[in-house]
Amino acid sequence: MDQLFALSVVVPLLVAAALVGVKPLLSGRRRVLDAVAVLTAASVTVMLLVIMARTDGGDAVYWFAGFRPVRGIAIGIDFAAGPLSAGLAALAALLVTASMIFSWRYFQQVATFYHVLMLTFLAGMTGFCLTGDIFDLFVWFELMGVSAYALTAYRPEERGPIQGALNFAITNSVGAYISLSGIALIYGRTGALNMAQIGAYISRHPPDRLVVVAFLLIIAGLLVKSAIVPFHFWLADAHAVAPTPVCVLFSGVMVELGLYGIARVYWSMFGTALGHRAAISHVFLALGVLTAVVGALFCFRERHIKRLLAFSTISHAGMFLAGIGLLTPLGLAGAAVYVAGHAMVKGVLFLCTGIVLHRLGSVNETLLHGRARHLRITGVLFTLAGLGLADLPPFGTFLGKGWIEDTGESHGMMWLTPVFILCTILAGGAVLRVAGGVFYGLGDPPAEEQRMARGANEETSETDADRQRTPLTMLIPPTVLVAVAIAIGLTPLGPAVEAAAVRFQDQAAYNATVLHGAHVAHPVSPFPVEAAGITVPGVVRGLVSAVGALLLAYLALYRRRLPVLRRGYQPRVGLSALAEGFQSGVINDSVTWLVFGLACLGGVLALIIR
Amino acid sequence: MQIFPFIVVVWIVGAGLYGIVTSRDLIHQIICLIVVQSSTYVLLLGVGYVTGAVAPYFNDVPVHTPAVDPVVQALALTDVVVEAAVTALLLAIAIQAHKRFGTLDPHDLAEFKG
């Protein structure tokens, strides 16, 4: 059992190294490379699922080389996995497996380093989820980052990838170094790098400014990774240009891992020490709601399908942050289920976009209008996933978001539900508009949309010359992911996920498990635990979102027939230029916004925590 | 711990960020990123510094001699490795940018957004 922890990161890293080593032998044997990579990713998925199943309601702790803590002082480096962290890692591994199977027939020529980078990316994500050491968190963060930057620039012979990768790499690196500064400060104060021990130390002392500053700095780096407004400018550029199977990972888990990092850091280190629970909760909520709204608005005005999906990811990241930021078990459980459901449907959407790109050589909604009618299965999958994104029951998304909304309502935040439903309708409506226009040729043919189309450049094909049919290996992964998304919504997961969330938030139990080897099977929540299940209001809200998204998509497709709009209504040029100015794609601007966001967040924290 | 190293850290971060924000040349921008990262070395070493202590290896000094914290030095070393990887990758991409577009100005590159 214990060895599984080490193996789950060692296996992908070793296989990656071996693939580089035997590269000369593998030239011309592409299938061997594919098979090894797929098998590795699949075996890591199984290992992580086993770890998750065996956490037994508590945390399973593994000390590397057997350096166990002595009298409650950690001297080694540990992996500490609860059901949520192991589950997130398993989700990452599952998506890596799906993307690898998808890319079996996808790339024209695939160099060894695609598989190598995917495997190191997987190792980075797994380590990030499992680690219990704050400095290792940074190292895994960077391993994940470097692999991701390289994967974004996978086709450097083209224009977009260079710009996207540079923006991604520089912005995220600045974020990572800010986090590292925070880690150094907290080490200076506590003399510890183990998260449990840091938490035990600072909760025994009254919080001072240094702890608050360290919290701010660590959080800021993770907020950059999770693309929270105003730290989000790198995301759309990177998503638009990365190879489509890689986008599945970026949207499905990488962004969510940043949020996981925030939750882990908050509940294992700072939660008890900082106090001011309500105020911190409001800060997270404000950031989350702002992100959800901004992402949804930008999503709807986009015509480049990959960018559109990227903005929808930003919007969803905001809702996940709001779920986590409610700081209650049900909110966290909702965010966890929502992340899983979203990862599945977003994965399907990206994979179907990949199929469209493979067959038709474009990802521009305007150019593709009605041209994908013959891709029937792809169209059905894309539409289903679009409905899933719009929270149609029984997709897992409706369950998770419903719990977040339930929590908001029981805490007197009645406005949260309509705001979330509106964001979902905007993002889901945009995706369904794409589905209707591209796959079914619904709506008026685009004529006078040159201005909108200009923004969405043609993308040259990433793929094989044979485009007469869609290979089976490209259809199986999205089909499986749709099935899993529905299964998540239908399985009675509620009590188990909520117990895991309670466990995740119980800092004392985490400390005791890691530092003293205690087994705390039934942690207690200081907050009332609300029942998690499928409720009638939840189903109704899901249905409202889905119907609203369908209506919005319909209106968007036939907008020129609307009486008001027939009189030559154009979105105001100034407004649209402003929106484009925000997304200038200049690295300098992204970093300026990062500094601005950091300063604002610092100011707010300084005001609330005195 | 003295206050001086921390003033230096803030100065270095400020200088590096100012460089990244105002730069019109990718290579310059990447160097500024390295400057931002160097602030973390100073911070780490500053955190572990003990006035009048020896280097942390105990071959020919009496037991109980105060030594500076070896952990932060290990962290700084890891940090250097991370930086090497990131910088190498960024410079490789910058070379590609120059080859393809003949420009290294981030404002011009933004025109080639995907």
In the predicted structure, residue A274 carries a pLDDT above the cut 90 = no
Q: Does A588 touch chain B (CB under 8 A)?
A: yes
Which residue does chain B place closest to A139, by CA atoms?
B82
pLDDT for the residue numbered B105 = 83
Other CB atoms within 10 Å distance of the CB of residue B36: 23
Contact assignment for A166 to B101 by CB distance below 8 Å: no
Most confident of A511-525, A576-590, B54-68, B87-101: B87-101
A174 contacts on B by Cβ (under 8 Å): 17, 20, 33, 36
State the average pLDDT over residues A408-433.
90
- Lowest-pLDDT range of A71-85, A270-284, A521-535, B82-96: A521-535
In the predicted structure, residue A205 carries a pLDDT above the cut 60 = yes
Q: Please, which residues have CB within 8 angstroms of residue A376's CB and are 6 or more apart in sequence?
A: none
Distance CA A503, CA A524 (A): 8
pLDDT for the residue numbered B76 = 92
Contact assignment for A184 to B89 by CB distance below 8 Å: no
Contact assignment for B97 to A166 by CB distance below 8 Å: yes
In angstroms, the Cα distances linking A29 to A114, A129, A571 are 15, 34, 53
Average pLDDT score, chain B: 87
Q: Please, which residues have CB within 8 angstroms of residue A331's CB and are 6 or more apart in sequence?
A: A322, A323, A324, A325, A403, A404, A407, A408
Q: Which residue has the tokens 């003399």?
A: A191
Are the C-beta atoms of A249 and A121 separated by less than 8 Å? Answer: yes
Q: What is the CATH number of domain B4-112?
A: 1.10.287.3510
pLDDT for the residue numbered A106 = 75
Are the C-beta atoms of A299 and A209 separated by less than 8 Å? Answer: no
Q: Does A209 touch chain B (CB under 8 A)?
A: no
In the predicted structure, residue B18 carries a pLDDT above the cut 90 = yes
Among A174, A241, A588, select the one facing B106 at the smallest CB separation.
Answer: A588
- Lowest-pLDDT range of A316-320, B8-12, B50-54: B50-54
Q: Does A587 touch chain B (CB under 8 A)?
A: yes
Distance CA A59, CA A48 (A): 14
Distance CA A594, CA A322 (A): 20
The complex's ipTM?
A: 0.94
Q: What's the gap in Å between the CA of B10 and the closest CA on chain A? A: 10
Tokens standing for A88? Answer: 């997130």
pLDDT for the residue numbered A444 = 76
Q: Does A305 touch chain B (CB under 8 A)?
A: no
pLDDT for the residue numbered A427 = 92
SS3 A465: coil
In the predicted structure, residue A167 carries a pLDDT above the cut 80 = yes
pLDDT for the residue numbered A338 = 93
pLDDT bracket for residue B39 (50, 70, 90): very high
Contact assignment for B93 to A193 by CB distance below 8 Å: no
In the predicted structure, residue A381 carries a pLDDT above the cut 50 = yes
Contact assignment for B82 to A139 by CB distance below 8 Å: yes
Q: What are phi and psi of B16, to 5 degrees?
A: -65, -45
Task: Give the model confidence (pLDDT) of A442-473 as tens digits.
Answer: 877 766 554 444 444 444 555 544 566 778 88
State the average pLDDT over residues A593-602.
92
A459 contacts on B by Cβ (under 8 Å): 114
Task: Give the model confidence (pLDDT) of A474-492 as tens digits.
Answer: 888 899 999 999 998 888 8
pLDDT for the residue numbered A368 = 83
Name the more confident of A538 and A345: A345
Tokens standing for A252? Answer: 């499905």
H or E segment and range at residue A53: helix A30-54
Which residue does chain B place closest to A170, by CA atoms?
B33
In the predicted structure, residue A563 carries a pLDDT above the cut 80 = no
In the predicted structure, residue A147 carries a pLDDT above the cut 60 = yes
pLDDT bracket for residue A109 (50, 70, 90): low
DSSP, residue by residue, A518-541: ---SS---SSPPPP-S--HHHHHH
- Lowest-pLDDT range of A108-112, A391-395, A454-458: A454-458
Q: What's the gap in Å between the CA of B60 and the closest CA on chain A? A: 25
In angstroms, the Cα distances linking A52 to A46, A55, B12 are 10, 5, 43
Among B36, B85, B109, select the one facing A177 at the smallest CB separation.
Answer: B36
Distance CA A156, CA A478 (A): 27
Are the C-beta atoms of A489 and A533 separated by less than 8 Å? Answer: no
Give me the residue spans of the domains in chain B. Answer: 4-112
Q: What's the gap in Å between the CA of B109 and the closest CA on chain A? A: 6
B75 contacts on A by Cβ (under 8 Å): 135, 184, 187
A146 contacts on B by Cβ (under 8 Å): 82, 85-86, 89
Q: Does A162 touch chain B (CB under 8 A)?
A: yes
State the average pLDDT over residues A556-562.
77
B21 contacts on A by Cβ (under 8 Å): 588, 591-592, 595
Q: Give percent of chain A above pLDDT 90.
A: 40
Q: What are phi and psi of A79, to 5 degrees?
A: -110, 125
pLDDT for the residue numbered A457 = 46
Are the C-beta atoms of B87 and B34 separated by less than 8 Å? Answer: yes
Task: Give the model confidence (pLDDT) of A489-540 as tens digits.
Answer: 888 878 888 888 888 888 888 888 888 887 776 666 666 666 677 788 888 8
- CA torsion through residues A408, A410, A411, A416, sign: positive
pLDDT bracket for residue B113 (50, 70, 90): low
Give me the residue spans of the domains in chain A. Answer: 1-132, 159-273+570-610, 276-449+470-567
A588 contacts on B by Cβ (under 8 Å): 20-23, 29, 106-107
Contact assignment for B47 to A184 by CB distance below 8 Å: yes
pLDDT bracket for residue B112 (50, 70, 90): low
